[in-house]
């Protein structure tokens, strides 16, 4: 079967033909690729077309596809059994690495996805504070649990579904959404209603309305207003954890959250999530405390092994500065190509995550992200695909690099970007 036939079959079986909405390519047009395999910086579809991959499974694959060391450790672990529903040594080893690397993580609980981590951390924050209200930011995406699907980024922004159908009003009435980077609005809200808030949840660098960088004062205010009002600060580092530097955004910015959410990279491409933080809060989690949360496959040994091998490799000295250098070359190169062609483009980048917005205005929040020309983005996406570049299929997702995206790959990618921008301009 060719990809079109497979996709047609998938559409009869899965909603939108996919297992997660953004990857259906509805926002950019064309059939989504059917993938045969990935290797290093490349991904190959069923027809044998090879792309330089900048999606990287939406973030986890910081070492590129099928890293040999990750595969070796995963395979060795898998031969001893796939799941035990019991404690295993590899779980302790990954837990130890994480609690040492992430400053705010005194204790941790493994789950299976970022969604599960966020949902569990909210329950814990509500139990710990005895309050119900949650503050998030518009365009922030913290998985798809009911109370967090309010003005959500990622698929929510991509498909213009600000709050999902099926989420009862009674559930979202306790969720407040404020504009990202608006320090005054944040202070103002907390000065009036801060004592009713259980938790403020934020992505330290937003990655789900496209990449949006935080103002320093915004992050400082997030810590201060929660401290002053007895609310918890939850840092959603599902994307930024071990992406921006070893440990994550909180290491980079000196942010001290009460709870942290992790996922993606810490599973090295296997399904994993984790939440953790202050020991006095985490001791409320069952069976030590009254906050129930459980999972048959939580702490799965094979996933733990993939995460462990990935994190061990990320400790290589100089790895993050090299990644930064390649990402800078790519980001700057894209800016100068677009400028030379007179295309309106704003590139937001931090380390190896970036988004280029087809916009002539700086992008600092959901409103300015939504100002982008998504029609131009979809034209560009299709042209880039023709040139052999696989990009996130939405203006509101992040593009990632891996350690396999070396000089040669970045230069080749820039040549392809140039051609794709040229064809886009002729259709603008
Ligand atoms: N929410 C994910 C990225 N921000 C999308 C994952 C997927 O569709 O695979």
CA of 26 to the centre of ligand 1 (A): 14
Average pLDDT, rounded, for the chain: 96
Task: Give domain limits for the chain.
Answer: 3-62+317-427, 68-313
Q: CA angle, corner 88, sides to 86 and 92, nearest 5?
A: 125
Q: What is the mean pLDDT of residues 124-140?
A: 97
Tokens matching residue 146: 């009911």
**156 vs 170, which has greater pLDDT?**
170
CA of 172 to the centre of ligand 1 (A): 22
pLDDT at 1: 85
**What is the CATH class of 68-313?**
alpha beta
Residue 156 has pLDDT above 90, yes or no: no
Q: Which of 33, 397, 398, 400 to mutate to test the pocket of ligand 1 (most atoms within 8 A of CB)?
A: 397
36 burial type by CB count under 10 A (0-12 exposed, 13-18 middle, 19+ buried)? middle
- Whose structure tokens read 């295993």? 88
Report which protein residue has its CA nearest ligand 1's atom 7.
Answer: 20
236 is a catalytic site residue: yes
Residue 96 has pLDDT above 80, yes or no: yes
264 is a catalytic site residue: yes
pLDDT at 306: 98
pLDDT at 108: 98
CA of 22 to the centre of ligand 1 (A): 6
CA of 94 to the centre of ligand 1 (A): 24
Q: Which of 20, 26, 238 to mutate to test the pocket of ligand 1 (most atoms within 8 A of CB)?
A: 20
Report which protein residue has its CA nearest ligand 1's atom 3.
Answer: 58
Q: Tens digits of per-residue pLDDT, 18-75? A: 999 999 999 999 999 999 999 999 999 999 999 999 999 999 999 999 999 999 999 9
pLDDT at 163: 76
pLDDT at 346: 96
- Alpha carbon distance, N-terminus to C-terminus of the chain: 35
Residue 216 has pLDDT above 80, yes or no: yes
Which atom from ligand 1 is nearest to the alpha carbon of 59? 3
pLDDT band of residue 174 (cuts 50, 70, 90) is very high
Residue 181 near residue 368 (C-beta atoms within 8 A):
no
Q: Tens digits of per-residue pLDDT, 269-300? A: 999 999 999 999 999 999 999 999 999 999 99
Q: What is the mean pLDDT of residues 157-173?
A: 83
Q: Mean pLDDT lowest for which of 14-18, 155-159, 169-173, 234-238?
A: 155-159
Residue 234 near residue 370 (C-beta atoms within 8 A):
no
pLDDT at 104: 87
- Whose structure tokens read 């982008």? 372
Percent of the chain predicted with pLDDT > 70? 100
Number of H helices, E strands in the chain: 15, 14
Instruction: Report d(CA 356, CA 335) in Å as an integer.
Output: 9
Write the DSSP string, 175-240.
Answer: EEEE-TT-HHHHHHHHHHHGGGEEEEEE-SSB-SSS-BPPPHHHHHHHHHHHHHHTPEEEEE-TTT
pLDDT at 164: 84
Torsional sign, CA 31, 35, 39, 40:
positive
**Nearest in space to 111 (alpha carbons), one of 375, 352, 342, 293:** 293
Q: Tens digits of per-residue pLDDT, 348-366? A: 999 999 999 999 999 999 9
27 three-class SS:
coil
**Strand intervals (E) in 226-352:** 232-236, 259-263, 273-277, 346-350
> Is the CB of 182 within 6 Å of ligand 1?
no
**What is the CATH class of 3-62+317-427?**
alpha beta
pLDDT at 231: 98
Catalytic residue, chosen from 7, 51, 141, 180, is: 141
Q: Tens digits of per-residue pLDDT, 312-345? A: 999 999 999 999 999 999 999 999 999 999 999 9
Task: Tell me if the pTM is above 0.85.
Answer: yes
**Nearest in space to 226 (alpha carbons), one of 199, 255, 208:** 199
Report which protein residue has its CA nearest ligand 1's atom 8.
Answer: 20
Residue 157 has pLDDT above 80, yes or no: no
**Interacting residues of 367 by C-beta distance below 8 A, sequence separation 6+:** 138, 179
- Whose structure tokens read 């801060």? 194
> Is the CB of 208 within 6 Å of ligand 1?
yes
**Nearest in space to 412 (alpha carbons), one of 161, 147, 27, 53:** 53
């Amino acid at each position: 079967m060719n990809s079109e036939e497979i996709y047609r079959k998938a559409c009869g079986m899965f909603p939108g033909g996919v297992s997660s909405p953004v990857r259906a390519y509805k926002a950019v047009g064309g059939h989504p690729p059917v993938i045969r395999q990935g290797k290093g910086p490349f991904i190959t579809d069923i027809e044998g077309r090879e792309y330089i991959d900048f999606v990287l499974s939406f973030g986890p694959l910081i070492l590129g596809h099928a890293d040999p060391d990750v595969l070796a450790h995963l395979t060795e672990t898998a031969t001893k059994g796939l799941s035990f529903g019991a404690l295993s040594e590899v779980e302790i080893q990954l837990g130890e690495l994480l609690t040492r690397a992430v400053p705010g993580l005194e204790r941790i609980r493994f789950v299976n996805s970022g969604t599960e981590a966020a949902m569990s951390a909210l329950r814990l924050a509500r139990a710990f504070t005895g309050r119900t209200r949650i503050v998030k930011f518009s365009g922030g995406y913290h998985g798809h649990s009911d109370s967090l699907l309010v003005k959500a980024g990622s698929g929510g922004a991509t498909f213009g579904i600000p709050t999902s159908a099926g989420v009862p009003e009674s559930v979202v009435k306790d969720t407040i959404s404020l504009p990202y980077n608006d320090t005054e609005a944040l202070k103002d809200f907390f000065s009036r209603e801060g004592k009713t808030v259980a938790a403020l949840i934020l992505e330290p660098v937003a990655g789900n309305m496209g990449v949006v960088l935080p103002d320093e004062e915004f992050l400082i205010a997030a810590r201060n207003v929660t401290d002053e009002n007895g609310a918890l600060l939850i840092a959603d580092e599902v994307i930024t954890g071990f992406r921006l530097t070893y440990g994550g955004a909180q290491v980079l910015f000196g942010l001290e959250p009460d709870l942290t959410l992790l996922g993606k990279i810490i599973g090295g491409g296997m399904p994993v999530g984790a939440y953790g933080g202050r020991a006095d809060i985490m001791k409320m989690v069952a069976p030590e405390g009254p906050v129930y949360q459980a999972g048959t496959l939580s702490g799965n040994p094979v996933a733990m092994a993939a995460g462990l091998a990935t994190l061990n490799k990320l400790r290589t000295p100089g790895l993050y500065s090299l990644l930064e250098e390649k990402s800078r070359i790519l980001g700057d190169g894209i800016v100068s190509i677009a400028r030379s062609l007179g295309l309106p483009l704003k590139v937001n980048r931090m380390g190896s995550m970036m988004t280029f917005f087809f916009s002539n205005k700086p992008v600092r929040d959901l409103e300015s992200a939504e100002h982008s020309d998504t029609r131009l983005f979809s034209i560009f996406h299709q042209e880039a695909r023709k040139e052999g570049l696989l990009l996130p299929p939405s203006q509101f997702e992040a593009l990632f690099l891996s350690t396999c995206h070396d000089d040669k790959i970045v230069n080749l990618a820039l040549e392809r970007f140039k051609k794709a921008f040229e064809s886009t301009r002729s259709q603008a």
